[in-house]
């Protein structure tokens, strides 16, 4: 039995075993509000402040921990860092600097000749364009030929469809690169979905996910660049019961997301095991349409939201780049790295 005092930032640990790699397990304990356990293959780590009595027993199908009593309101301990800027351009530059930092770290690592990065769709591509292409100082530092680029999620449409994440990235970043002299024949390797299987029915949608999963780097990603929707989704991991199967996925690394609340309806998405294995995770969120959700993520720390769940589960490797507008309603400034 372990007790974690209210003031303590220390985490309780309990033993447990599982054949899965590190992953998040959200335990919805009716009387106890929500609590979160992350676990590796050999131990479970409790994240939270409050008084806990913890038994190291494992209920069927839920190896890890059972909470036997609960006293204070659980506060999920956040280790994420938030970088907030007022100017769009400054934000883009800071994101770019972090990307280049991750690139250098990856290439310096023993025997590593590639930088593996996965990106999301939405407004993120504009930030990438501003930082990695249009900013001359930064773009000179980008070693595109070493990059292997994947998509954290992809909409199941042809690659030249305006809704395609690959298509948006190509237009915003890859096409302009071809005008950058030396980069002409030294572009990144970009992994797109198998377009031939798109819009051929559910069986093929599963197959697209399966094929894409087979392309992922075995060693995990050096960097994931994520967006955040106004409902708290990221990748195509949406909140709510209808899409819980995606958050609960522990074996597939890429899954088919059906009936997406954000069009188009069919997508594929990375699942939490990929996020768990990535070395760095950076979210980018800008604009007043993100105010309400930022408040829910950072003040309420509502872990039923996929973004908040990622903060709570993998906080030590998560950072956010936000602008003043997006963060205007967040009361908790303790997460700000550049206060
Ligand atoms: O394909 C997608 O729809 C995205 O990958 C999605 O997860 C996106 O990143 C967020 O919805 C944020 O999008 P915005 O930055 O445009 O709000």
The ipTM value here is 0.98
Specify whether 90 is located in the same domain as 153. yes
Rg for the chain (alpha carbons), in Å? Answer: 20
Residue 32 placed within a domain: yes
Specify whether 30 is located in the same domain as 98. no
Q: For the chain, what percentages of helix, strand and coil (3-state, to nearest 5) are there?
A: 35, 20, 45
Residue 235 placed within a domain: yes
Q: Which strand (E) or helix (H) includes residue 295?
A: helix 291-295
Give me the residue label for tokens 């936000």.
Answer: 322
Q: What is the pLDDT of residue 179?
A: 67
Specify whether 251 is located in the same domain as 143. yes
Specify whether 89 is located in the same domain as 64. no
Residue 217 placed within a domain: yes
Residue 28 placed within a domain: yes
Pocket test for ligand 1, best of 121, 124, 166, 292 (most atoms within 8 A of CB): 121
Distance of CA 212 to the CA centre of its chain: 17
Residue 192 placed within a domain: yes
Tell me what the mean pLDDT of segment 88-98 comes to. 97
Question: How far is it, in rounded angstroms, from Cα 188 to Cα 73?
Answer: 48
Tell me what the mean pLDDT of segment 6-29 comes to. 32
Tell me what the mean pLDDT of segment 30-57 comes to. 36
pLDDT classification of 110: cutoffs 50, 70, 90: confident
Q: What is the pLDDT of residue 70?
A: 31
Specify whether 104 is located in the same domain as 223. yes
- Give the chain's mean pLDDT: 81
CATH number at 150 reads 3.40.50.1360
Which residue(s) pair with 31 in the sheet?
none
Q: What is the pLDDT of residue 178?
A: 77
The neighbour count for residue 3, using CB atoms within 10 Å, is 12
Which residue(s) pair with 190 in the sheet?
149
DSSP label at residue 78? P
Last residue of a domain, one of 28, 51, 70: 70
Residue 335 placed within a domain: no
The binding-site residues of ligand 1, defined as CB within 6 angstroms of any ligand atom, are 120-124, 153, 155, 165, 227-229, 233-235, 262
Distance 221 CA to ligand 1 centre (A): 19
Specify whether 163 is located in the same domain as 182. yes
Residue 82 and residue 335 in contact, taking contact as beta carbons nearer than 8 Å: yes
Residue 312 placed within a domain: yes
Q: Both ends of the chain: CA-CA distance in Å? A: 38
Question: How far is it, in rounded angstroms, from Cα 90 to Cα 28?
Answer: 40
- Which range of residues forms the domain containing residue 241? 81-327
Give the range with max mean pLDDT: 37-46, 109-118, 273-282: 273-282
Residue range 317-334, pLDDT digits in tens: 999 999 999 999 999 888
Between 13-22, 228-237, 262-271, the lowest mean confidence (pLDDT) is in 13-22
- What's the whole-model pTM score? 0.81
Q: What is the dihedral of CA 182, 188, 192, 196, to 10 degrees?
A: 50
Q: What is the pLDDT of residue 181?
A: 58
- Whether omega for the bond prior to residue 264 falls within 30 degrees of 0, making it cis, is yes
In this predicted structure, the answer to whether residue 135 has a pLDDT above a threshold of 60 is yes
pLDDT classification of 180: cutoffs 50, 70, 90: low
Tell me what the mean pLDDT of segment 94-98 comes to. 98
């Amino acid at each position: 039995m372990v007790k974690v005092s209210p003031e303590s930032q220390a985490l309780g640990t309990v033993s447990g075993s599982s054949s899965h790699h590190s992953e998040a397990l959200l335990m919805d304990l009716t009387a106890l509000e929500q609590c979160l356990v992350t676990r590796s293959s050999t131990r479970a780590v409790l994240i939270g402040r409050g008084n806990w009595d913890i038994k190291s027993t494992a209920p069927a199908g839920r190896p890890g921990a059972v909470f036997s009593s609960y006293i204070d309101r659980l506060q999920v301990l956040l280790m994420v860092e938030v970088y907030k800027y007022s100017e769009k351009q400054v934000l883009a530059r800071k994101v770019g600097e972090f990307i280049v930092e991750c690139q250098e770290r990856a290439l310096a690592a023993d025997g590593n000749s590639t930088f593996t990065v996965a990106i999301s769709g939405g407004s993120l591509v504009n930030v990438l364009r501003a930082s990695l292409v249009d900013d001359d100082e930064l773009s000179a530092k980008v070693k595109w030929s070493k990059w292997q680029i994947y998509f954290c999620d992809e909409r199941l449409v042809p690659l030249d469809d305006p809704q395609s994440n690959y298509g948006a990235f190509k237009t915003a970043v890859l096409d302009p690169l071809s005008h950058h002299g030396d980069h002409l024949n030294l572009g990144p390797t970009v992994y797109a979905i198998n377009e031939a299987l798109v819009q051929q029915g559910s069986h093929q949608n599963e197959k697209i996910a399966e094929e894409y999963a087979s392309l992922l780097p075995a060693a995990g990603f050096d960097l994931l660049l994520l967006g955040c929707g106004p409902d708290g989704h990221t990748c195509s991991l949406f909140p709510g019961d209808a899409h819980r199967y995606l958050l609960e996925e522990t074996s597939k690394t890429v899954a088919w997301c059906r009936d997406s609340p954000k069009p188009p309806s069919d997508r594929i998405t990375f699942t939490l095991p990929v996020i768990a294995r990535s070395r760095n995770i950076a979210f980018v969120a800008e604009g007043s349409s993100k105010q309400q959700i930022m408040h829910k993520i950072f003040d309420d720390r509502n872990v039923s939201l996929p973004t908040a769940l990622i903060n709570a589960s993998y906080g030590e490797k998560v950072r956010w780049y936000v602008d003043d507008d997006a963060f205007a309603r967040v009361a908790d400034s303790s997460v700000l790295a550049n206060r």
